[in-house]
Each structure stands twice: as structure tokens, then as C-alpha cells.
Structure 1
Amino acid sequence: MDKLSEIKIGISACLAGDKVRFDTGHKRSNFCMDDFANHVEYVKFCPEVAVGLPIPRPTIRQIKVGDTIKVCRPDGSGDVGPKLNEYGKKVATEQAKHLSGFVFCAKSPSCGMERVKIYNEAGTGNTSEGVGFFAQQIMAHNPLLPCEENGRLNDPHLRENFVMRVYVFKNWQNLILTQIGLHELTQFHAKHKYLVMSHNYESYRALGRFLAQSSDMPIEQVKHEYIAGLMKALSSPASRKNQTNTLTHLQGYFKNNISKIEKQELCGAIDDYRQGVVPLCVPLTLLKHHLTVHPNEYLAQQVYFDPYPNDLRLRFSI
């Protein structure tokens, strides 16, 4: 696994516990700062302070005026929208390329990823279809970067999926630090094969076909299309059905090595997971036990078994 200093995550400063909110408060994320912080290094951003707003400060909101959206005080004054866009673009193009993920503050007019309130000019109503100006620039200029909001990280499936994507993306960033060819790219895919299968079986097949048929393509194009396809395939939490299918595939590697009773135990654990009786870590622990007793070099390199540090306990709840 990557060491602490090797994985850098962008984070809204208020989520790190910094007292930078309009009321001098914060919105510290316990998961980010108590659990995930043991494995990553955070790079903190407060775009509102960065563009010159003081602490404390009047609240700001997104207000639609004609065809334009302002980020300003409720009375319409003090629009900082252009400054937030400019700052967001600067961070997106200069600093975000060194990050492996980003955690934004939900519903913020500067940092919200989605469902940000946009008020009408009279202040009598709003819709929840906005995106924070800073967050929008980060995501637009870095479409592959794993991003999530603090509130959504309370969902165990979304939390696990975000952390998994951070580690996969970091693996990719490490890979392309050196000049690679189709062989290295194919090896990378082989290690992530069952992880992709657990999320999207069609993508698993499509990515394999793409690499097999890409020998005549420029390697930079192959790299670009492959990582785009990989991150898209992993963009949503794996379904119980897809996980069960993957576990069953992995079980097949041991059919000639384990006893009848051990087979029944493993089948039972996978079926209990399928029915929601036990979490994913139960059948996975059994598979890893059999892999230890009956080594298989191909399976041993599969990222699926340990996509992130085990002490995060993310598979205990899914």
C-alpha cells in the first residue's frame, strides 16, 4: 500500500476542522480526519477565504439574475463568482494534477458537487440544481479525479467506493510516472481485472477487448481511453449481484484444491453474502485463507482482495 506521504487528497478546509466558515465554525469530517488521515496527506482549500472573504463574513449564496448566476450576499451585493471561477481554474490546472482525490463540502455555493441551492433574484424561492463554483472547475478540468462530498461519505457504499477509486487512481498515477507500453498497461489491467468485474461486467469485457485490439494505436491514445474507461467502470458502488458473480469466479480457482466440506463452507459464505446475511468481508476472508494455503500467483496480484488498507474496515459494512 502507498505510504502516508504518497497519496495527496484535496479537501475543503472546513472538513479538516479549520474554522474558516462564515460563522467561524467548521464541519470536521470524522472519517476523513480520524480514519482516512492515517493513510493520506490532505491539501486544504477554502476558496471563499482564498478570494478575500473575511472570517467571520456575511453568508453567500448562488442567485440567478437573468441568465447569469452570481455568488453573493442574499441582497445581491458582493458577487465573488468570477473570483471563485478564476481561483478554481488555477487550482484545477496547477495543483489538482498532483492529487489522487478530493473531498468537497456539500451544498456549499463554492464547494458543493451537486444539489447546491440557486435562489431567484427576489429571494422567494430556490432550486437545488447548482454546483459550487470552485468544485465545478476542479471536476471540469480533472474528470478522472475521484471526488466526493462529506455527507455522502456517511454512506458505507459510497465511502468504500470513493476510497477504492482513490487507490486505483493513485496506482495509475504511479504507473505513468515512467514511460510505459502496451505490455505494462496490460499487466496493470490484469491486476485490476476482478475489481472491474465486481463493478461492471460489460466494462470488464470491453476493456479487455480494447487492449487486445489496440496494438496499432498510439500508446498515448490507448492510455487515455483505457483510464477513462476504467474510472467510469468504477464510478458507482458494486452491486451485490456483481460482487457475488466475482466471488463465484474466484471460488472456481480452488475447485481442485479444497475439500468437499471446505467447498460447502465457501459456497455458503458467498450465498449468505448474496442474501445480505453477512458483509462482503466474510466470503473474502475465506477466499484469502484458501489463497494462503493454496498459493496462486495470478490471484495473489489481484487488487480486488486488498484495494486499500484493511484497517479502514470498509468492507465490514457492505
Structure 2
Amino acid sequence: YPLMPVEEEGRLNDDMLRENFIERVFAYDDWMQNVAGDNLTARALIEFHTRHKFQLLAHSEKIYRQLGPMLGDLKSEPLKDIADRYISSFMEAMTQRVSRGSHVNAMQHLMGYLRDAMADEDRQVLMEQIDAYHRGEVPLVVPMTLLRMAQRREPVDYLSSQKYLTPYPDELGLRNRV
């Protein structure tokens, strides 16, 4: 399992490294449970990409822009070869730390899907908290909670499956420190 996330124990004392590691573990588990091996189908591969699209965007916009077109022509070569290249690039992207600016970019993309569902006041509060996160005044959990609340209030099907909103169980509290 050369792509399985591995991290030195001592490095897990760093909040950002720990959050990134756990996020990679859950993404890799999703791949292994739903795409790898006997589960590999074009549909499974596309659904995985769809679930992790905003995570990928946050970690590496460059790789995000490469992987979308890769899935555009799944008949150009054997599906297993495409899937192998896809997951290698995906896991490479996931190893990259997410900057505050990249999180802001991903959250603003998500907010675009909720634009019609949110009242002007709610949108303003969310933008204020995204900006406060960008300045380092609040942790990531604050604007993410507001995004998730807006999604629950007026569900957008596409966002319901996004792992970026809940990449791992909330009980871990990892976004409280990043």
C-alpha cells in the first residue's frame, strides 16, 4: 500500500500536520472502500472525485485542474491505469498543507452554490467569518460551521456529498486548532 498515509508520531504534535494526516487517512479509506479493487468502475471513480473535489481544490489547485480532465475521457485507456494515475496524483495533492488562502478559495466556491439559499445577512456574516479566518482571528471550524449550517438549512444536493465539509468525524475536533 504505497499510497497509504504515513506520518512520524512526533510530527503529529503539530496541529496542521495532524489534521492533514487524519484527512488523508479518511480520504484513502474512502478510496479503498468505494473505488479500489473489485469496486472500480467509471461511476465509482467519478463519484469519488465529486465527493473530494473541494478538498482537492484546497490542497492543490494545480492537481485539481489536472485530475478533472483526466476523468473526462475514461475510454482512452484501461480504467485501472487511469484510476492508478488518479489516486497517485490525488494522494500527492492531499499531502500538501492547505494555506488559509486556499481554504478561503474553497469556501468561497462552496458559498457560490449556496448563494440563492442564503439571506443577505447570513451571507454577510459568513463572509465576515471567512475573512476573520483568513486574517487568523478565528479557527477554520467557525466559517466551516456556518457553511454547514447554511447547507443544512437549504440543502444543495451537490454539496451534501462534499467531504471538504466533513472530512472526518467532528468528534476529533481537528479543525478547532487550524
Range of TM-score over shorter length: over 0.9
* Post-superposition offset of 1:178: 2.6
Is 1:212 matched up with 2:72? yes
Q: 3-state DSSP class of the match of 1:197?
A: helix
Counterpart in the other structure of 2:115 = 255
Question: 2:111 corresponds to which letter in structure 1?
Answer: Q
Tell me, in whole angstroms, the C-alpha distance in 2 between the residues paired with 1:179 and 1:278.
40
Task: Summarize deviations over 1:42-93 as a string: whole Å, max 9, x none.
Answer: xxxxxxxxxxxxxxxxxxxxxxxxxxxxxxxxxxxxxxxxxxxxxxxxxxxx
Tell me, in whole angstroms, the C-alpha distance in 1 between the residues paired with 2:80 and 2:55.
24
Candidates 179, 202, 210, aligned match of 2:62:
202
Q: What does residue range 149-188 of structure 1 map to in structure 2 within 5 Å?
A: 149-175=8-34, 176-188=36-48
The answer to which structure has the higher strand fraction is 1
* Post-superposition offset of 1:216: 1.6
Q: What does residue range 92-107 of structure 1 map to in structure 2 within 5 Å?
A: 97=1
Counterpart in the other structure of 1:134 = none
Tell me, in whole angstroms, the C-alpha distance in 2 between the residues paired with 1:183 and 1:222.
13
Counterpart in the other structure of 1:297 = 157
Contact between 1:182 and 1:215, CA under 8 Å: does it hold in 2?
no
Question: 2:30 corresponds to which letter in structure 1?
Answer: N
When normalised by structure 1's length, the TM-score is: 0.54
Counterpart in the other structure of 2:174 = 314
Tell me, in whole angstroms, the C-alpha distance in 2 between the residues paired with 1:155 and 1:181.
37
Tell me, in whole angstroms, the C-alpha distance in 2 between the residues paired with 1:193 and 1:179.
20
Counterpart in the other structure of 1:277 = 137
Gaps of 5+ in 2: none
Candidates 259, 264, 271, aligned match of 2:124:
264
- Report % sequence identity: 37
Candidates 68, 82, 85, aligned match of 1:222:
82
Q: What does residue range 241-252 of structure 1 map to in structure 2 within 5 Å?
A: 241-252=101-112
Tell me, in whole angstroms, the C-alpha distance in 2 between the residues paired with 1:223 and 1:312.
30
Question: 2:13 corresponds to which letter in structure 1?
Answer: N
Q: Which has the higher contact order (CA 8 A, sep 6+)?
A: 2
Question: 2:23 corresponds to which letter in structure 1?
Answer: M
Q: 3-state DSSP class of the match of 1:214?
A: coil
When normalised by structure 2's length, the TM-score is: 0.96
Gaps of 5+ in 1: 1-96, 98-141
Contact between 1:214 and 1:222, CA under 8 Å: does it hold in 2?
yes
